[in-house]
Amino acid sequence: SRILVIHGPNLNLLGTREPEVYGSSTLEDINRNLKEVAHHLGAQLDAVQHNVEGELINIIHAARGQYDAIIINPAAYTHTSVALRDALAGVAIPFVEVHISNVHQREAFRHHSFMSDIAVGVICGLGTYGYEAALRFLLQKPL
């Protein structure tokens, strides 16, 4: 299987950004671990990060035909972006939505997601392990 991991805005700052909320792993640490797990389970995994909404949409469009599933942390765009939702719906690639923090424990504006109802599943509050959980879930069945 071919898995694309998409990290949204500000996640390039992981490791130094609000470590009490997001932990101390860097994006590089997370991606390295995911690639290791994917390799171990016989899958191919690519990871990208972008801060710009339109670029994330372009990345999702380009994934069509190239990937079997997407793991996405849309970060703040989760709560704002109809365009990102429409891109995910448009390419119809199954995706798991991941949040490092438990968004339901936080401000009310983080409780709504424009993506969740069209996601295969949603993981939040498991820290950076949430990405690995999503990956293991996707790879436990034929895609």
- Which positions are annotated as active-site residues? 22, 99
Binding mask 6-45 for ligand DQA (x = CB under 6 A): ----x-----------------------------------
Residue 56 token pair: 């994330």
Question: Is there a contact between 117 and 87 (Cβ–Cβ < 8 Å)?
Answer: no
User: Is 60 annotated as belonging to a binding site?
Assistant: no
Q: Which helix (H) or strand (E) holds 47?
A: strand 44-49
- Closer by beta carbon to ligand DQA, 66 or else 109: 109
* 79 belongs to an annotated ligand binding site: yes
Residue 86 among known ligand-binding residues: yes
Decide if residue 128 touches ligand DQA (CB under 6 A). Answer: no
25 and 14 Cβ atoms separated by less than 8 Å: yes
The rounded distance, in Å, linking the Cα atoms of 31 and 93 is 20
Q: Is 51 among the annotated ligand-binding positions?
A: no
Size of the site for ligand DQA (CB under 6 A): 10
Choices 27-35, 42-50, 70-78, 81-89; region in contact with ligand DQA by CB under 6 A: 70-78
Question: Is 46 strand, coil or helix?
Answer: strand
Say whether residue 101 binds ligand DQA (CB under 6 A): yes
Is residue 135 within 8 Å of 31, Cβ to Cβ?
no
Q: What are phi and psi of 112, to 5 degrees?
A: -100, 135
List binding-site positions for substrate: 73, 79, 86, 100-101, 110
